Amino acid sequence: MKICIVGAGAIGGWLGVNLAQQGHEISVLARGANLVAIQKNGLQLIQTQPQPLHHVAAVKASDHPAELGPQDLVIVAVKAPAMAEVAKAMTPLLATHTMVMTAMNGVPWWFFQGFGGKLEDTCLATIDPGGSIAKAIPAHHVVGCVVHASCSLDSPGVVRHHFGQGLIVGEPAQQQGQTSARIVNLLTHLNAAGFTASTSNQIQKDVWYKLWGNMTVNPISAFTGATTDLILKDDLVRDFVSKIMLEAKAIGAQIGISIDQTPEDRHAMTLKLGAFKTSMLQDVEAGKSVELDALVSAVRELGQLTQVATPYTDALLGLSRLHASVRGLYPSQ
């Protein structure tokens, strides 16, 4: 396949190198120091499990989409705040058949595409004000992807994979639980590249379940500097996290994507992963913009749309955005 990685950071780089190992024609849309490093040294991946390995993939890298041309698959792995600008630039990468697979945290712009019910095709103002992203990337291109893996950037163009190989993919507008031929083909390529990939009957539900776990620990880690184990071992903070999760759970029930677990069930899963820095904490330490809107603001907006009260989510958002705004990592209110 002809595959372009848009956003060759930690997750995008990890996906790109593994797919390159299987002979796919990989290109990268990048800029700045990342672009220079990839052009000079290739896209690099360091892994420690199950054994130490250092892969280098020779890829075509450019900051001009037209130089890369139409693709079979575009993997979008940028942070949510950059998505509106990225979407405008992606047109040269899209042919009629191109799949656009989003490997991003939080609520995506396509969340209510094909959703059904009264929220069908709702455009969330906190994610895609004015619907500009949805207009730039028509719905038939979109494939959602939920990533269950931890990666970080050692330096520009150099990715370190810590743990996890899980990918869940699905089309937002999938009809009656049927899996399309293109998703079956994509799944084959992803598994051949070493990922543990599976399909979803409703990808929005998988997105919401992952969000349920990281909408709290990500921002709390960002303004405290604490790893996930420390957050959940503090009884007062853990109770705060649980109350936020119960609000999100109530919203999910209102829109038809209920969660059967309790917050304590999810805490137990997170604690099994040990002490690790969330992606948002890594962004703060690197001086990068934080994706609060996709993880927290969108939940508050959904609470307003469904008339579910969100006082604890509101408190988390206020604290998080104040912390980030003071550091120039989030627009000032």
pLDDT tens, residue by residue, 85-97: 999 999 999 999 9
Sequence-distant (≥ 6) Cβ neighbours of residue 148 within 8 angstroms: 164, 165, 166, 167, 168, 210
> Residue range 199-225: average pLDDT?
96
- Please determine whether the domains at 2-201 and 206-326 fall in the same fold group of CATH: no
Q: Is the pLDDT of residue 129 over 90?
A: yes
- Which pLDDT does position 48 carry in this prediction? 82
Q: Work out the percent of the chain whose per-residue pLDDT is above 70.
A: 98
Residue 98 has a pLDDT of: 98
pLDDT band at 274 (very low <50, low <70, confident <90, very high): confident
pLDDT band at 175 (very low <50, low <70, confident <90, very high): low
Write down the CATH number for the domain with range 206-326. 1.10.1040.10
Residue 244 near residue 316 (C-beta atoms within 8 A)? yes
Asked if 209 contacts 259 with a C-beta cutoff of 8 angstroms, the reply is yes
> In this structure, are residues 15 and 43 in contact, taking their beta carbons and an 8 Å threshold?
no
Half-sphere exposure of 51 (CA within 13 A, CB side): 0
119: which DSSP letter? G
- Per-residue pLDDT reduced to its tens digit, 161-170: 999 999 999 9
Question: Residue 12's closest CA among 211, 279, 292?
Answer: 279
**Per-residue confidence at 291, pLDDT binned at 50, 70, 90?**
very high
| Cβ-based neighbours of 242, under 8 Å, separated by 6 or more | 263, 264, 267
**How confident is the prediction for the chain on average, in pLDDT?**
95
More confident position, 331 or 314: 314
Query: Which two tokens mark 190?
Result: 């992803």
- Residues making up the chain, counted from first to last: 333
Residue 176 has pLDDT above 60, yes or no: no
Q: Which of 2, 60, 88, 210 is catalytic?
A: 210
Token pair, residue 32, equals: 């700045």
Do 325 and 317 form a contact (C-beta atoms < 8 A)? no
Domain boundaries, the chain: 2-201, 206-326
CA distance 106 to 114: 18
Which helix (DSSP H) or strand (DSSP E) does residue 95 occupy?
strand 94-103
Cβ neighbours for 229, distance < 8 A, ≥ 6 positions apart: 271, 274, 275, 276
| CA separation, residue 11 to residues 112, 248, 283 (Å) | 24, 26, 13
What tokens appear for 85 in the block?
A: 């600008």
The proportion of the chain whose per-residue pLDDT surpasses 90, expressed as a percent, equals 89
CATH class of the domain whose range is 2-201: alpha beta
Q: Is 88 a catalytic residue?
A: no
Q: What is the CA radius of gyration of the chain?
A: 19
- With vertex at residue 123, the alpha carbon angle to CA 117 and CA 126, rounded to the nearest 5 degrees, is 130
Which one-letter amino acid corresponds to residue 63? D
Please identify which residue in the block is written with the tokens 């079979």. 72
Q: Average pLDDT in the 57-75 region?
A: 97
- The SS3 call for residue 90 is coil
Q: How far apart are CA 40 and CA 91, in angstroms?
A: 26
Q: Report in angstroms the alpha-carbon separations of 126 from 75, 159, 202, 286.
A: 23, 30, 22, 24
Residue 11 exposure: Cα atoms within 13 Å on the Cβ side: 24
